[in-house]
Structures are given as structure tokens and as C-alpha cells.
Amino acid sequence: MNSSLQLGDDPTAQTPFYQPQAEEVTLFEHAYRHQLPVLLKGPTGCGKTRFIRHMATKLGLPLYTVACHDDLTAADLVGRHLLQEGDTVWNDGPLTRAVREGGICYLDEVVEARKDTTVVLHPLSDDRRELPIERTGELLKAPDNFMLVVSYNPGYQNVFKGMKPSTRQRFVAMRFNFPTPALEQKIVIKESGVAPAIAQQLVEIAQALRRLQDHDLEESVSTRLLVYCASLLNSGLPWQIACRAAIAEPLSDDEDTVTALMDVITAIMDG
């Protein structure tokens, strides 16, 4: 199970850079204040996870991040008994730790988890704010500083991996998208240190690739990939190598499609 704990309440911690696009920071603060669960939806690499890291540090909260997947079980979230030095000992999962101690529990790409797993979120995502632990007989009441946040990409689903409407309606929903060109350029410069002229070209590439209709791309180029590419360029790598490795190849395994993407990239970089 892939999970991590990031302590956001360290007074010496630097708040991760995040460039707001609208009123998402204010909305999140109000949701936290009113103990409302939050759903973030948007394409891969548009800043959802960075936003949560930013808000956890800003609010001074621990952040428990769980990367959801097909094999994620309820025990992975809640906890299980483990054998330690001959004794059976209960070990809290990340969700239980967040409920016991306070903080943000962030389930990334929650629709990837099995349906029987997400059921454990229901009593935490309504006015009960409770977590029953069947194995220990406990019924944990979430503290005031606990917050449940989930995310998913609505453009990358099939009929078997959608979020049920009854589940969506338990959350305050926030829609994320790729930034405007001006904001995206600012992000690329801030994150990579690349020159403004190069950042502008990379954003133009992103805009062109996102408009493509005749290539079977599952997802388009993300802001994250632009930052990767800018970092490679800023270290002196030729643009042909950097753009292919950080933009074209991650978008497709089809060689003809990669070649077509590189044609678009070349036209902008040589323009």
C-alpha cells in the first residue's frame, strides 16, 4: 500500500509553491472551518496534489496521502493486526491515524480503489464524522482538525471506475483544470528557473497539443510535464532530447504518434 505522511504543522516548514487559479484556497479554508469533506476533480498533473500539500502546510496540519489502486483494501486504510515479536498488535492505517491524531487524509485517484473499500469513507463524509473499526470494536469520532479529501480525474474513467453520484454528493467539489497560459508560464518559471522565453514556448507547445483531435491520446500534456521539460532544458539538455523525453514519450507508446507530437513541438521550438 502506497501511503505517506507529510507533517504540515512544522512551523519551520516552507509552504509548497502553489499558484491559485481562482478562489480554491478560500473555498478550501471555509470547507475546513465547517468540517466538510472535499472532492478535487481534474486532469492528471494540473496541480491537485500540490494544492493539498500547500493547504496542509498553510493550515498547519499533518497530511496523510494515499495513492489509490485496484488492490487497495479497507484494511490498508483502516489498519490490521500484525505479528510483532510473537504478539498480535493492532496497527492503524493512514485513515485511522488521521482520525485519531487530526490532519488531512488525502486519497489520490479514489476511483481506482475497490468499491468495498470506499464504503468505509461514508460515515466520515457526513455529519457523523465517525470511523468504526470492526476489528477492535472502536468507534472513533473525528476531531475538529480532521479533514477528508479525495481526488480523481473525471476524463480518465470507464463505466467500471466512475464515482457513484451518491458518493459524490457527500463532498464539496472543486474543479481543477490546466492554468491559463499566463499562469502556466509563471508556474514553469517558478518551478524550474527556466528563462521566460523558453517557458513561453513550452506553454505554446502545451496549448497546441491540448488542441489535437486526431491523435488517440488518453491524456494531454500536463503542467507537471512542462516543469520536467523546463528543468531538463535549464540544465543544458538540447530541446530535441528534453521535449521528447518529458513531453512526447510520456503521452504515447505509439511511435507514429510520438513522431507526430514531435513535429508539432519542432514547429514551435524552431518558429
Q: Are residues 168 and 186 both part of a single domain?
A: no
Q: Are residues 8 and 134 both part of a single domain?
A: yes
Q: Are residues 212 and 237 both part of a single domain?
A: yes
- Domain ranges, residue 243: 181-269
Q: Are residues 170 and 209 both part of a single domain?
A: no
Report how many domains make up the chain. Answer: 2
Q: What is the pLDDT of residues 147-168, one digit of tens each?
A: 999 999 887 655 456 777 888 8
Q: What is the pLDDT of residues 244-258, one digit of tens each?
A: 999 999 999 999 999
pTM listed for this prediction: 0.86
Among the candidates 140, 156, 175, a domain finishes at 175
Neighbours of 82 (CB within 10 A): 10
Q: Are residues 190 and 165 both part of a single domain?
A: no
Q: Are residues 135 and 30 both part of a single domain?
A: yes
Neighbours of 165 (CB within 10 A): 7
Give the C-alpha separation, 55 to 42, whole Å. 17
Q: Are residues 170 and 211 both part of a single domain?
A: no
Q: Are residues 36 and 154 both part of a single domain?
A: yes
pLDDT at residue 215, as a whole number: 64
Which residues, including other chains, have CB under 8 Å from residue 249's CB and lie 6 or more apart? Answer: 258
Low-confidence ranges of the chain (pLDDT < 50): 1-2, 5-12, 159
Kind and range of the H or E element at 147? strand 146-152
Q: Are residues 187 and 84 both part of a single domain?
A: no
Give the C-alpha separation, 113 to 118, whole Å. 7
Q: Is 35 exposed, middle or buried (0-12, 13-18, 19+ CB in 10 A)?
A: middle
Torsion sign (Cα): 49, 54, 56, 57: positive
Q: How many CA atoms lie within 13 A of 211 on its CB side?
A: 7
Q: Are residues 146 and 211 both part of a single domain?
A: no
